[in-house]
Structure 1
Amino acid sequence: MTDLADRYGTRTRPPWLWWVVAGIGIALGVAWAGWIALQPRPVTTEVFSYDVVSDSQIDLVLEVIREEPVAVTCSVYAQAQDHSIVGEKTITIPAPQKDRELHDVSLTTTERAVTGVVRSCEVAD
């Protein structure tokens, strides 16, 4: 019988090759994540406070921070104890007088909510 290595030959890869490939992949991933994280955000929004008024209403105060005076459209929702969505609303906030403002939002809910969440906030068309 003949040895397959004698018949077809062998390929030898240096042992450090996979370490170099992995290092390059990790470096590219970190560079991409850093680039995404450092992109400017035209609008930053978060729930400043909330008040559960009743089993069918929750009031939110949104903090909206904008670098430029532009109108924004925000989508907010209320969650119940089991994390189900029990109410939601999309609102348009006009261009501001200041770069940082607080806005009141009242949501009607189908059952008692325990928190309010900002889903998204984007520059209005």
Structure 2
Amino acid sequence: MTDLTERYGRKRAVPRWVLPLVAVVGISLGVAWAAWTAWDDVPPYQSEVFGYEVQGEDLTTITINVYRSEDVALECEVYAQAESKAIVGETVVEVPASPRNTRVTAEIITEHRATTAVIRTCEPA
């Protein structure tokens, strides 16, 4: 019986430097992506609905949390929706300038009974 390596030749293995090179390139790309996402333009403020309460057929209250990294006054547009998703009331909530996080409650006068309250936008005043 003949030796197969003599008959067909031996397949060359991957050079030793290839795997470390692939690892270095992969790690470099990961670090570059992480840095790019960390330095993305993040607004100096964010807002979220903390809660809402339907007071009756014509009134809904909404409480919003405002998180800020800068001392800036904001105007937040909020609205109330009915079960049909129709907007039944809206108002603008003025959030005074403050270097801290703030919680603000506002009343939304509604045309019909609302089922939820939502923030549309929060922009600098």
User: In which range does the TM-score fall when normalised by the shorter chain?
Assistant: 0.5 to 0.7
In structure 1, the partner of 2:116 is 115
The letter for the 1-side match of 2:109 is T
Name which of 33, 37, 57 aligns with 2:59: 57
Residues 30-109 of structure 1 mapped to structure 2, 5 A cutoff: 38-96=40-98, 98-109=99-110
CA deviation after TM superposition for structure 1 residue 91, in Å? 2.2
- If the length of structure 1 is used for normalisation, what is the TM-score? 0.66
Report the 3-state secondary structure (helix = DSSP H, G, I; strand = E; otherwise coil) of the residue aligned with 1:69: coil
The letter for the 2-side match of 1:123 is P
* Structure 1 runs, 4 residues or longer, greater than 3 Å off: none
Q: Is the contact between residue 43 and residue 123 of structure 1 (CA under 8 Å) also seen in structure 2?
A: no
The letter for the 2-side match of 1:104 is T
- If the length of structure 2 is used for normalisation, what is the TM-score? 0.66
Q: Give the distance between the partners of 2:63 and 2:94, measured in 1 at CA.
A: 14
Task: Tell me the percent identity.
Answer: 36
Q: Which structure 1 residue ranges, 5 or more long, are not aligned?
A: 1-30
C-alpha RMSD of matched pairs (Å) = 1.8
Larger Rg: 2
Q: Give the distance between the partners of 2:60 and 2:80, measured in 1 at CA.
A: 8
The letter for the 1-side match of 2:46 is T
Q: Deviations over 1:48-77 (max 9, x none)?
A: 000100010001101011111110011000
Q: Is the contact between residue 75 and residue 89 of structure 1 (CA under 8 Å) also seen in structure 2?
A: yes
Q: Give the distance between the partners of 1:52 and 1:90, measured in 2 at CA.
A: 18
Residues 20-35 of structure 1 mapped to structure 2, 5 A cutoff: none
Q: Give the distance between the partners of 1:116 and 1:110, measured in 2 at CA.
A: 14
Q: Give the distance between the partners of 1:89 and 1:38, measured in 2 at CA.
A: 31
Q: Give the distance between the partners of 2:77 and 2:61, measured in 1 at CA.
A: 14
